[in-house]
Structures are given as C-alpha cells and as structure tokens.
C-alpha cells in the first residue's frame, strides 16, 4: 500500500501532536493511583468537542440501541433500513482488559453496521484488577453464545456470525474463536483481529524498537498484563495467550490488522504466521504510519479509513 512523502509527513505530524495531547490528558496505566477516577476520564474525553473529532462519530443511517447480556450492558448498532435477517458481528473493545468501553470503538462498529449491512453487538465485560483473568474471557464467551441464541430475535442470522476486537478486544475475539471451535460452536464465519494482544509474556522486536510509542508503551503493556492476570500471572493457558494454543487449525478465516508504529505489531504478525502454519485462512495487512489504537482514532490517523475499507470488504466476503 504505497504512501507518498506528503502523506507520510501529514501522518507523522498528526501523530506527534496527538502524542503531546495524550501526555497532557492521560497517564500511563503503570502511573495511575485511582483507577476508578482514571476510567471516568475516558467518557468525558469521548464526549468533549475534541474527543468527538479524535474518536469519530456514529455512522449515518445507523440505529443505536442497548441491551443486557447476563446483567451487563451491550451497545447494538444496526442499519436503519435493512431487509433481514442480517449477519451479526460481536465486537470487543480494547483497553488492556483494565479500562475502555464500547463507545470508544463506535466509529468502527457503526461503520461496519452501515456498510456491511450487519448487526454489531459490542458488549461490556468485567475489568481487571477487580475482576482478573479469566473474567473478561468468560464474559466475552457468554456474550457470543447469548447473541448466537438470540440472533433471530435481534433480526440476525445465527448462521452468519463473526467476532471482532481491537487490542485487548482482539485477544478476546481470538479466544472466543478458539472456544467456539473447542466447545462445539457457535459456528463463526470470520474473526477480525485488530492489533491483537495474543502473547502475555514474550518480548518481541517491535516492543523493543517501539518501547516509547504513542498510545501504548512497553511499560504500559507489562502493567496491563500484570493487572489483568493478577494471581494467575504465569499461566500459559491459550485463553490468556491464544498464540500458545496447541493448535490453531479449524478456526474461522481471520483478518489480522497491525500498525507499523505499534509495539504490538509482532503479536499480530506472529499470530498470522501461526494461523497460516495451521492451515487457517488469514488475511494480513500492516498499515504504514499507523499507531496503536488507530482504528479508534480516525481523526488522528487517516489510514484508519483505508483499514475500515478492508474490514468492510472482508466481512462482506465472509458473511
């Protein structure tokens, strides 16, 4: 995907400005003392004028609702005008398993709903350290199975299901795909893994090279993992690190998206390699000039629009 010099310059300038802004409004998770107060800042930023420009808005022509899954909130985006039943995508937000909410991904999820013609369900899941591993994985799994069981009621097609997620949410999407294979369904047609965290412990070259990158640093990564795993730090379970699964065969086709300037880059690249080695169909794209979290930052990283096109194309093909 060629990028000319002017595009590179614009992306670099936006990234630098955003990194400076981020340092003014946000602390690294390893520096946070009051986690509850820290979490409360994100919705305020999202709803502010600058936040709306950074995170993007809900797509036109989409209806947004909420429902409850096992007592937890889920945000639902669907086309305002559609002829059902529609394919259904369960999408998990990022945030290091410690923070975040479905609204931070609403640009991506609502655009998928509008352009794919799908129902996109974005569930809340319990956060660490109050609810350490495997709480988030169990909530992600229960959300998928609930959606599969109630797809018809939602106006969806239970035979056209996919999972999607970014960062920690990409981890949860990969884990639910593994569980669906190993626990007898639901049958999935696709997994969209956006800069996924698939390995808890190993340090890969991209993390060393980009240790102080914007949005996510090596220190952040290590703190998130410690908070998430808690007393189970050291577990080699594939429900923590899907890259450690005994086999990645028999999984639904995957689309793995990575960012060139992301310390998690090699997580995604190695998962691609492992999927391919197991015979699982995988599409892989590394987006030049992109930083971690870029699919939630369309106002900062213009290449997010290109990545969205690729996600839409993949889901249209597979669903």
**Catalytic hit among 91, 110, 167, 206:** 167
* DSSP bridge pairs for 287: 259
Query: And the tokens for 206?
Result: 């991209």
Rg of the chain taking only CA atoms, in angstroms: 18
CA 255 to mean position of chain CA atoms: 12
Q: Are 123 and 143 in contact (CB under 8 A)?
A: yes
**Catalytic hit among 93, 241, 292, 296:** 292
What backbone torsions phi and psi does residue 10 show, to the nearest 5 degrees? -65, -45
Assess whether 292 carries a catalytic annotation.
yes
Q: Which sign, positive or negative, has the C-alpha torsion 274, 171, 105, 36? A: negative
Assess whether 139 carries a catalytic annotation.
no
Q: Helical H runs in the chain?
A: 5-25, 35-47, 49-55, 106-112, 135-154, 168-182, 205-209, 218-229, 265-277, 303-318
Task: List all residues 6 or more positions away from 281 whose beta carbon is below 8 Å from its beta carbon.
Answer: 253, 254, 275
Task: List all residues 6 or more positions away from 9 whose beta carbon is below 8 Å from its beta carbon.
Answer: none
Neighbour tally for 252: CB within 10 Å: 18
Q: Are 117 and 86 in contact (CB under 8 A)?
A: yes
Task: List all residues 6 or more positions away from 13 whose beta carbon is below 8 Å from its beta carbon.
Answer: none
* DSSP bridge pairs for 192: 164, 255
Q: How far apart are CA 87 and CA 285, in angstroms?
A: 24
Please work out, in degrees rounded to the nearest 5, the angle formed at the alpha carbon of residue 242 by the alpha carbons of 184 and 124. Answer: 75
Assess whether 202 carries a catalytic annotation.
no
ω into residue 129 within 30 of 0, thus cis? Answer: yes
- Please identify every residue annotated as catalytic: 167, 262, 292
């Amino acid at each position: 995907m060629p990028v000319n010099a002017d595009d590179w310059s614009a992306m670099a300038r936006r990234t630098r400005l955003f990194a400076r802004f981020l340092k003014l409004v946000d602390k690294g998770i390893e520096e946070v003392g009051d986690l509850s107060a820290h979490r409360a800042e994100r919705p305020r930023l999202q709803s502010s004028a600058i936040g709306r420009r950074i995170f993007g808005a809900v797509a036109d022509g989409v209806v947004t609702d909420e429902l409850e899954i096992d007592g937890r909130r889920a945000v639902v985006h669907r086309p305002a005008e559609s002829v059902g039943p529609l394919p259904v995508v369960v999408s998990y937000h990022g945030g290091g398993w410690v923070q975040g909410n479905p609204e931070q991904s609403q640009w991506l999820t609502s655009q998928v709903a509008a352009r794919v013609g799908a129902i996109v369900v974005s569930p809340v899941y319990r956060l660490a350290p109050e609810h350490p591993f495997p709480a988030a994985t169990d909530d992600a799994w229960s959300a998928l199975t609930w959606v599969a069981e109630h797809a018809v009621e939602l106006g969806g097609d239970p035979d056209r299901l996919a999972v999607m997620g970014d960062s920690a949410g990409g981890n949860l999407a990969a884990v639910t795909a593994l569980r669906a294979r190993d626990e007898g369904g639901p049958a999935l047609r696709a997994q969209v893994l956006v800069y996924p965290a698939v390995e808890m412990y190993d340090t890969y070259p991209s993390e060393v090279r980009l240790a102080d990158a914007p949005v996510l640093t090596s220190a952040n990564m290590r703190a998130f993992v410690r908070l998430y795993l808690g007393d189970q730090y050291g577990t080699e379970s594939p429900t923590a690190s899907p890259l450690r699964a005994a086999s990645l065969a028999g999984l639904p086709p995957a689309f793995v998206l990575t960012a060139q300037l992301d310390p998690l880059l090699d997580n995604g690249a190695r998962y691609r390699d492992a999927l391919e080695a197991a015979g699982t169909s995988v599409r892989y794209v590394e987006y030049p000039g992109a930083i971690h979290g870029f699919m939630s930052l369309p106002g900062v990283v213009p290449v997010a629009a290109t990545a969205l096109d690729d996600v839409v194309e993949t889901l249209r093909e597979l669903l």
